[in-house]
Amino acid sequence: MNNDDVAALEGQLEDTVLGASAFDIGNHAEAPAGMAVEDWVPITMVADDGVDQETITRSIEESSEIDESEMSRRYDELKTYTLKMSTLEQLHKTEDQTRALALLSRKNRLLIDDKYRYDIMHPNLLFKMHKVYMDHRLLIGRELGFDLLLPNLNVLGVEQDHSWQFHFQFDKRFHQFGGDVRMFGCDMAGRMLRIGTTRADEEVWLALVPTASFDAPIPPHKVKLSKNPTVMRPELSLAMITSILHGMDQAGVSDISLPVPPYPDNSSSKSFNLHWSLKSRPGIKLSVANMRRFCNSYKTHFWSWYTHDDAPAGYSFSEIDDSVPVVAILSYGKNSDVGNGDIADEPTISAVADMWEREVDYAHAWKMTVAFASHYSCTMVPKWENLNPHILMHDNPVLYDSANPSTRKIVEDLASYPEKEDDDQRERRVYTPDGVQVPRRRARGLRACDRGALLQDLSSIHSLFTAPIGVDDSDLEVDAMLDDDFDSEDDPPARSSPYAHDVSYTCYPHMFSKNIGQWQANGIIRPMVPHIQSLSKTLTQPGSGGQAITGLNSQCYNTMSHRMR
């Protein structure tokens, strides 16, 4: 704007009130003839242009052409500085923000001072497992229908539980399945329908599982998935909702009004709503008795309804032709308490087992995937008190000197059995026949202490997955999983040769460190293998040709990592 324009504007603004009047365009509902739109701006909104649009567009386009390989190379060439944890603590306590921000201008490797670390083998270090939670569960039915949703009717009094109900929900047709579809043994693209919620707030899905998956199960890690969503196409989802309504109608458990024959127009939601409004009646709740009648009705009438001569062409689907409609129950992030660990006033294991027995009849289940989260803490104990050995023997008549069944020996008299190991510091442990340690002392004088982080030494993770003697899996390079970017040029760490293991895992260093952090693995740690094999042997039916329990994945992280992921 030149000086004349500025003077003209100032004269016009002299008696103008800023605010709402800035947008007052008077009688001009449209831009005056001959004026460009960008010129037709309220006088109080006129301002100098900044950077022209062409320059902005060009800068955006050029930014995508940055040579990332050059940036990576320059970063690799930067000198690595050692940053002590004690330095960070000092900066935090003094609130020295300037120095803290300056650290970001260079490449650092964190060094944990000895004062922040404990020797894991310290005799006064106490590990406790506080609780065990079920963080995830996927339960898949083995047969046509909804019987998996019923409580275990073999338990006395369950059928008279008036608080039980299942809520069918027909307004969630376009939800995407959030679980691991590989557990179905096939690609489930376009084959899943969200149909309700259990009273434990678990998602319930109707899944069209191909018959081949039941006949020849494929391990999850071998399943090949497409990129297509699990959501059923609209016509198919409306047809499956109709099958549910037809089952209820035949069972007489709800006031269902379907056309005759029972095939409402499923070409669109608008047409379907003429017979059953998904908006005004998005759901139906059934009690135990009504749900039982519906389950029997659905199994009896589904195939005859689907293959009936009166069924129109719009009710024929390849996804149904080769499949079995089964139920899948999914929960994640619920943190259901399934074990009390070392806490005496929490629900007992037997009480939790009773709850599991009541909630579902597992005879109707094909597969169940569960993820358990065990919460551990570690504390330095200032003082120990020995427990009465006679009371321990009374509570545990049979004790062993080891958890290993092949090498252990029975402890005849706990009172005369040495309390400590040869170093006169560590407790000499004893175990039940199941391999569970029986503590011979309890901690005293515990005091409040600074909260710390249980982190893993990533350079030793291989020891958790070491293969048995005779297993050759040296093609997996453990050393390559570590982060080389934080090597100090002045003090390179010693590298050991790769270790053999049969489980691949990924390490996640924390805090600019090289080997301190958390990990995830596509298998389970070796100490758990014998326990899982023992459980599997107990639960597997003779001649079934498979294993009842299989370990899939494991991971380890602390509470802070869990909350920040």
> Residue 411 in contact with residue 430, Cβ under 8 Å?
yes
Q: Pick the closest to residue 237 from 293, 290, 175, 181 (CA basis).
A: 175
Q: Pick the closest to residue 165 from 267, 254, 286 (CA basis).
A: 286
Query: What is the per-residue pLDDT for 478?
Result: 32
The ranges assigned to domains in the chain are: 3-60, 67-116, 137-336+364-371, 387-441, 456-564
Query: What is the per-residue pLDDT for 14?
Result: 45
Phi then psi dihedrals of residue 17, to 5 deg: -90, 125
Query: What is the per-residue pLDDT for 119?
Result: 80
Alpha-helix runs per DSSP H in 132-257: 211-215, 234-251
Q: Pick the closest to residue 276 from 291, 306, 255 (CA basis).
A: 255
Query: What is the per-residue pLDDT for 33?
Result: 46
Which two structure tokens, joined as six digits, stand for 422? 């040869």
Query: What is the per-residue pLDDT for 480?
Result: 31
Which two structure tokens, joined as six digits, stand for 169? 């929900």
Which two structure tokens, joined as six digits, stand for 563? 């909350």
Residue 270, burial from CB neighbour count under 10 angstroms (0-12, 13-18, 19+)? exposed
Query: What is the per-residue pLDDT for 138?
Result: 96
Name the stretches of the chain with pLDDT < 70: 1-52, 59-66, 339-349, 448-453, 467-502, 545, 562-565
Which two structure tokens, joined as six digits, stand for 200? 């434990």
3-class DSSP assignment, residue 300: helix
DSSP 316-347: --HHHHTEEEEEEEEEEEEEEEEE-TT-TTSP
State pTM to two decimals: 0.72
Query: What is the per-residue pLDDT for 91?
Result: 94
How many other CB atoms are there within 10 angstroms of residue 563's CB atom? Answer: 7
Rounded Cα distance between 261 and 99, Å, is 78
